């Protein structure tokens, strides 16, 4: 099994994906253990002094003015976890919770939090045992970080609350820890606060969304190319010299991908005698410009994620010179903005894909294809309602594109009077990514059928490979009306699990 070693300088996106999705084991480096011990020494020294230090010997948030005596500090740390574990609603996905915990561990191991080495090791042990705390959909305002979700994770470290075992069954956390030989932690000064105060949930979801979107943007280039073929469009607009004079990197990559898919096509460039075309519609001709803008948006989001993955987000933080200082680094704005930006780009990519699908089904605009790609139009409805489903998905994606980060609701008696809503931005982006997968699968389903209906014309080798693999996967081709939902589900799985890209890249080589 793959092992991820956590040091003091952050982690990579591939580390997050390995732990969250592939159950990679975690080890703490000697460097991290030394940094943890050194920072803890600073906290212990401050805790012994009579002067109050925020997070060490005071209350929290609006209650930070109260000095807490030494005999109450363990209770204080326990209480902050219990009181902040106030989430509601359905459980969030296992991979999100694993990313959340792993990224909190990353910050803990930076040596800037003052947490004891044994607490960090317990976090790693829980993840390695496949124990997943129950975390709820609602509770985070994205400032101070993802408080409620992280509190539910910290509760598990204390042997309280509920968690899911490696068998997928939810049980009391205390039982699961005992079964795996993990001792519950009693939190000392600052440790409760340090386990709660970060952007880890929204960052984990950003990293996973970027991994998914990278595949989906390549898939969108493939489905756009298939639609262009099916509509007898021209590939001349994809020429590299045209994109070089507007040098957005994503646009050039998208055009190159489409051109690679269309190489050797016998369908492109055909215009029917009775319906000559000078230009293709925008949804076909401008596919690289729209998909390319989304790719460039991802590049910016990836840069933000890389910076955040290298960060130590906590308040207060332990500095190398021995100071423990309050700060505002927990604010989720940098992550929240790009999460919202990605949702906007995904909605637009879905929108242009739906427009191409609609064009394939409209006999007045499809250049000779049967109405709705039906076998016997009138008796058969063909893919009419598949496009309705696609349109419903796109409509929801447009609603999800409304930025969460533009909102703020003050909390903590106006101490936390401006919040990022980054968790909400991340949650809606996950839905948008799922919906984009479905939208592209409908376009694939329609475009593949349309290409097959162009009898006497030979599609590109890459197109042929994609369609053949789709049919081998059990997704049926043209014919009389049938129960359509299973075919659409099959097309969705074909896109979601990368089989479309695998089929195409056997011909084209790796797409950009």
The alpha-helical segments, DSSP class H, found in 236-286 are 240-244, 249-262, 282-285
Residues β-bridged to residue 170? 164
Tokens 């207060």 label which residue?
316
Peptide bond into 311 cis (omega under 30): no
What span, in angstroms and rounded, lies between the C-alpha atoms of 125 and 326? 30
Residues 48 and 136: beta-carbon distance below 8 Å: no
E strand or H helix at 25, and its extent?
strand 25-28
Compute CA distances 297 → 287, 291, 302, whole Å: 16, 10, 9
Q: What are phi and psi of 292, to 5 degrees?
A: -65, -40
Q: Which of 54, 282, 337, 445 is catalytic?
A: 54
Q: How many CB atoms lie within 10 A of CB 396?
A: 16
The per-residue DSSP string of 225-238 comes to HHHHHHTT--SGGG
Residues 296 and 288: beta-carbon distance below 8 Å: no
Q: How many CB atoms lie within 10 A of CB 459?
A: 24
Query: Alpha carbon 165 to chain centroid distance?
Result: 24
CA angle 327, 331, 333 (to 5 degrees): 140
Query: Alpha carbon 359 to chain centroid distance?
Result: 30
Residues β-bridged to residue 317? 325
What span, in angstroms and rounded, lies between the C-alpha atoms of 444 and 422? 33
Angle, in degrees to the nearest 10, between helices 333-361 and 422-453 = 20
Query: Alpha carbon 48 to chain centroid distance?
Result: 43
In sign, the C-alpha dihedral spanning 97, 99, 101, 104 is: negative
CA angle 383, 384, 386 (to 5 degrees): 60
What span, in angstroms and rounded, lies between the C-alpha atoms of 420 and 408? 6
Residues β-bridged to residue 58? 67
What span, in angstroms and rounded, lies between the C-alpha atoms of 141 and 163? 23
Q: Which two tokens stand for residue 109?
A: 């191991």
445 is catalytic: no
Nearest to 198 by CA among 157, 158, 140: 140
Nearest to 503 by CA among 181, 149, 219, 192: 219
Q: Active-site residues: which are they?
A: 54
């Amino acid at each position: 099994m793959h092992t991820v070693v956590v040091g003091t300088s952050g982690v990579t996106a591939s580390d997050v994906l390995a732990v969250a999705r592939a159950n990679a084991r975690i080890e703490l480096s000697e460097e991290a253990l030394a940094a943890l011990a050194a920072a803890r020494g600073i906290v212990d020294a401050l805790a012994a002094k009579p002067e109050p230090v925020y997070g060490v010997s005071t209350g929290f948030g609006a209650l930070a003015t109260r000095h807490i005596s030494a005999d109450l500090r363990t209770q204080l740390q326990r209480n902050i976890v219990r009181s902040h574990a106030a989430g509601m609603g359905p459980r969030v996905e296992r991979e999100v919770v694993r990313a959340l915990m792993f990224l909190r561990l990353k910050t803990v191991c930076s040596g800037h939090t003052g947490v004891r080495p044994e607490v960090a090791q317990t976090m790693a042990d829980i993840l390695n045992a496949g124990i997943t705390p129950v975390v709820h959909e609602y509770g985070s305002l994205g400032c101070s970080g993802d408080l409620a979700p992280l509190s539910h994770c910290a509760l598990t470290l204390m042997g309280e609350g509920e968690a899911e075992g490696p068998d997928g069954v939810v049980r009391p956390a205390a039982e699961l820890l005992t079964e795996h030989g993990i001792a519950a932690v009693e939190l000392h000064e600052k440790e409760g606060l340090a386990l709660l105060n970060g952007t880890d949930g929204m960052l984990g979801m950003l990293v996973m969304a970027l991994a998914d979107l990278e595949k989906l943007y390549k898939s969108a280039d493939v489905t756009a190319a298939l639609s262009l073929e099916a509509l007898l469009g021209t590939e001349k607009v994809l020429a590299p010299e045209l994109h070089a004079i507007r040098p957005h990197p994503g646009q050039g990559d998208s055009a190159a991908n489409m051109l690679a898919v269309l190489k050797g096509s016998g369908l492109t460039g055909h215009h029917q005698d009775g319906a000559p075309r000078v230009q293709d519609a925008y949804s076909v001709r401008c596919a690289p410009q729209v998909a390319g803008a989304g790719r460039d948006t991802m590049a910016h989001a990836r840069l933000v994620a890389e910076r955040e993955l290298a960060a130590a987000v906590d308040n207060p933080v332990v500095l190398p010179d021995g100071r423990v200082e309050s700060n505002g680094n927990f604010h989720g704005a940098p992550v929240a903005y790009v999460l919202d930006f990605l949702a906007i780009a995904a909605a637009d990519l879905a929108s242009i894909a739906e427009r191409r699908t609609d064009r394939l089904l409209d006999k007045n605009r499809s250049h000779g294809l049967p109405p709705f790609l039906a076998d016997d139009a009138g008796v058969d409805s063909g893919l009419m309602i598949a496009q309705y489903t696609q349109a419903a998905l796109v409509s929801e994606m447009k609603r999800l594109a409304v930025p969460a980060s533009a909102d703020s609701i003050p909390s903590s008696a106006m101490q936390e009077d401006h919040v990022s809503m980054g968790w909400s931005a991340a949650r809606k982006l996950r839905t948008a990514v799922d919906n984009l997968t479905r939208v592209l699968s409908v376009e694939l389903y329609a475009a593949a059928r349309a290409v097959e209906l162009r009898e006497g014309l030979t599609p590109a080798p890459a197109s042929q490979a994609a369609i053949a693999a789709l049919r081998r996967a059990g997704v049926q081709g043209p014919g009389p009306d049938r129960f359509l939902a299973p075919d659409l589900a099959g097309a969705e799985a074909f896109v979601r699990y990368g089989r479309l890209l695998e089929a195409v890249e056997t011909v084209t080589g790796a797409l950009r």
